[in-house]
Structure 1
Amino acid sequence: MLKSYSQILLNLLLGITALVSIGVGFLWWYPFELLSHGRVYYFLVSLVITIGILCAWLAGIRWQGTLFFALALLAFNSVWILPWYLPNSHQGRGESLRIIEFNINIQNTQLTRVANLVEQQKPDIAVLIEISPPAMKKLTNHLQDTLPFAYRTRGGGLAVFSRFGLVNPQGKTLSAGTILTTSVKTATKNITLVAAHPSVPIKPDVFAKRNTALAEVTQYLQAQKYKRLIFAGDLNLTPWSPYYKRLVEKTGLHNTKLGFGVEPSWIEPTTYVHLPAWIVGVIKLPIDHIFVSNDIKVVDCKTIKGGNSDHRMLLSDLVI
């Protein structure tokens, strides 16, 4: 009797996990789209269940149908996760370029720690997000020897610091927010850099605003398709959202994390995040991204914790 109840419970858990795992890829509406961001967790749940059933099988409890169901679900969820860890051939030779993207958080007052973390990585370009005017002043002073060229948009809190000269940096005001655009002249190449930070989709109105911002920046990126392009930002979007899929399909850009892991960037403990420790420890979402056009190659990509930010810094080594 206990075995029967256990099998029913496992099948129920598998059914719920399967329903969510399969359904979220087709749900564009609030709040269901938010479930798409839990792909890693659905994979882990299906993995744990499958291991449990295999252990039971070895102990003589043969739930053949349940095992087949669990293996099928594990295989399905693996399709969404494993490609991020498979070796990627997007590499080549040329001029090296290191870029970081880092949401420092507007509440973060420990700007010296932020600047030190940036300098430790020795980037050629740093895209920083949620930068207030006072923060921009302090960071500019601190980074002027290593990243002497800097620009901040009037709206949106977007900033870029560069070892190379910035050509025509500006903030473009769209209906759903501001994006940063600039050309960067390296030693041998000209690069178009675009940065964005759509709204956090925690309510229906800002969910719609985020989606509008993504559509608008997608349209802008499409207009730059013949340029050597880097697009970076905290998009408040994981790679498993249908809105992410649409952005990538329409722009043809390459996520620098492919081949280097999912690399979750949010949420990290800070002096100003007042959430239960277990929530901060469990919730890890890859919402920060760096994309490149196909004529830019990727050597490495990783996240780095520090700077008293609730985000990890995202670092990509490129070849242009």
Structure 2
Amino acid sequence: MNTFLIAFAAILVLFSVMALIRNDYWTFRIFDYPRLQKFTLSIICLGLLLYFYNGTGTLYWVLTAVVTANTIYLLYLILPFTILGKKQVQKVKSHNRDCSISLMISNVYQDNTNFNGCLNEIHKADPDVVLLLETDEKWEKAVSGLEKEYKYSVKAAKDNTYGMLLFSKLELKDDEIRYIVEDDVPSIHAKVLLKNGKEVMLHAVHPTPPVPNENVRSTERDKELLLVADMAKEEALPVIVIGDLNDVAWSHTTELFLKMSGLLDPRRGRGFFNSFHAKYPFMRFPLDHAFISPDFKLNRIKRLDSFGSDHFPIFLDIQYEPQADKEQKPMHADSDDTEEAEEKKAKT
């Protein structure tokens, strides 16, 4: 039993250390994802050490101290995404539909054929804007009926799992499809006209993840996110960034994105809203995101029901309030953050 506990503790600590190494290769970046799982396992390991380790002396105290420190460190990282954390985005006091926008983000899983399930979720949630990811021509055809209600759309269907379809009840202006980093990975950018006439800049993205069968490095993902961060920072209009970012909410890269963009994460202080993996409860992470500029407040955020995809859809209802940026402050980048961001954007 002692040998097992020593190995268990060593592996958990190693997994935490690996995530600290600033290397783009997937074998390091993959450890950014399961922080909640590592925290849970660290608590279990600490309990097993206290109750079942039958040795005494230096090794026992070292193991106990290291696992305790690891548990506290992981708690520190995930605490901002619990109800005990500070809210970055405040809740609206009075909901006004004329200056609000609701959005649904859903990675449908390209091989999934439950088209009716997807359409049912859209009709139940009734968002103003729908972003469907991993959509090929089969999916484009299957959901074409949405155009009766959603009069505006931007379509970039692809069979490489990076297609995206954007549908909107609200008027879209100056919409375009860009290939920011990779030639076969699109992103959608458009101005959305709220009911009160206010224009809002929307960026929809789905960069590739750092995994062996996609990209062995996170270079392309990080670069795309930081280039979008630049767009958001330079934009005079209110900004919304949505999509499957293939990165978790608590990662170093996501935090760097928030610092460089000046955007806020409405999940902070409210919950994880884990969107992936829908079929494996213990292996769930918040991969589908909505980041907003400080002149928005939150009406509602929730995770919707799965319809056969490996992702849950995420629903967000926010309200434009021009004075909100006096109450809500974004993270600020220091010189080290700026230098790191420039280095990541320069990589090829």
Q: TM class by shorter-chain length?
A: 0.7 to 0.9
Q: Is 1:15 the equivalent of 2:10?
A: yes
The answer for the alignment partner of 1:202 in structure 2 is 211
Residue type at the aligned position of 1:153 = A
Tell me by how many angstroms 1:310 deviates. 1.4
* Match of residue 224 from structure 2: 216
Could you tell me whether the CA contact under 8 Å between 2:34 and 2:283 is conserved in 1? no
Percent identity of equivalent pairs: 20
The residue matched to 1:317 in structure 2 has which SS? strand
Q: Which of 118, 122, 130 lines up with 1:118 in the alignment?
A: 122
Could you list the structure 1 runs, at least 4 aligned residues long, displaced by more than 6 angstroms after superposition: none
Distance 1:130 1:205, change over 3 A: closer
Runs of 5+ consecutive residues of structure 1 not aligned to the other structure: 270-279
Counterpart position of 1:187? 195
Rounded to whole Å, the distance in 1 between the matches of 2:157 and 2:206 is: 14
Q: How does 1:254-293 map to 2 (within 5 A)?
A: 254-269=264-279, 280-293=280-293
Aligned residue for 2:298?
Answer: 298
- Give the superposition deviation at 1:113: 1.2
Amino acid of the structure 1 residue aligned with 2:241: F
Which secondary structure state, in structure 2, belongs to the residue aligned with residue 260 of structure 1? coil
State the Cα distance separating 1:158 from its structure 2 match.
1.3
Q: Does the CA contact (< 8 Å) of 1:33 and 1:241 recur in 2?
A: no
Distance 1:223 1:56 in 2: 54
Match of 1:275 in 2: none
Aligned to 2:66: 69
Distance in 1 between residues matched to 2:213 and 2:137, nearest whole Å: 30
Tell me the distance in 2 between the aligned counterparts of 1:308 and 1:9: 38
Residue type at the aligned position of 1:175: V
User: Which string of whole-angstrom CA distances, capped at 9 and with x for unpartnered residues, describes residues 177-233 of structure 1?
Assistant: 22100110011221111111112332286234x532431342233133232111111
Change (3 A) 1:239 1:217: closer
Alignment root-mean-square deviation, CA: 2.7
The corresponding residue for 1:277 is none
2:21–2:28 Cα contact (<8 Å) kept: no
Retained in 2: the 8 A contact 1:114–1:307?
yes
Counterpart contact for 1:49–1:70, Cα < 8 Å: yes
> Cα gap change, 1:201/1:72 in structure 2, threshold over 3 Å: closer, same or farther?
closer
Structure 2, gaps ≥5 residues long:
321-348
Matched, 1:167 2:163: no
Residue in structure 2 matched with residue 49 of structure 1 by the alignment: 45
Partner SS state of residue 237, structure 2: coil
For the 8 Å contact 2:107–2:311, the answer to whether it is kept is yes
Report the Cα distance in structure 2 between the residues aligned to 1:290 and 1:89, rounded to whole angstroms: 13
The alignment's TM-score, normalised by the length of structure 2, stands at 0.77
Q: 1:133, CA displacement in angstroms?
A: 2.8
TM superposition score normalised by structure 1: 0.84
1:305–1:311 Cα contact (<8 Å) kept: no
- CA 1:56–1:259 in 2, change beyond 3 Å: closer, same or farther? same
Residue 150 of structure 1, CA deviation: 1.9
Letter in 1 for 2:10: G
Q: How big is the shift at 1:47?
A: 1.2
Equivalent in the alignment of 1:106: 110
Alpha-carbon shift at residue 136 of structure 1 (Å): 2.1
- Equivalent of 1:35 in 31, 35, 51: 31
* Match for residue 81 of structure 1 among 78, 85, 91: 78
The whole-number CA distance in structure 1 between the counterparts of 2:311 and 2:26 is 24
Residue 24 in structure 1 maps to residue 19 in structure 2: yes
Compute the displacement of 1:65 (Å).
5.2
Separation (CA, whole Å) in 1 of partners of 2:103 and 2:214: 33
Tell whether the 8 Å contact from 2:29 to 2:210 is kept in structure 1 after alignment: no
C-alpha distance in 1, partners of 2:88/2:286? Answer: 22
Deviations 1:79-132 (A, max 9, x none): 111110125152154633221110111112221111111110121111111222
Letter in 1 for 2:114: Q
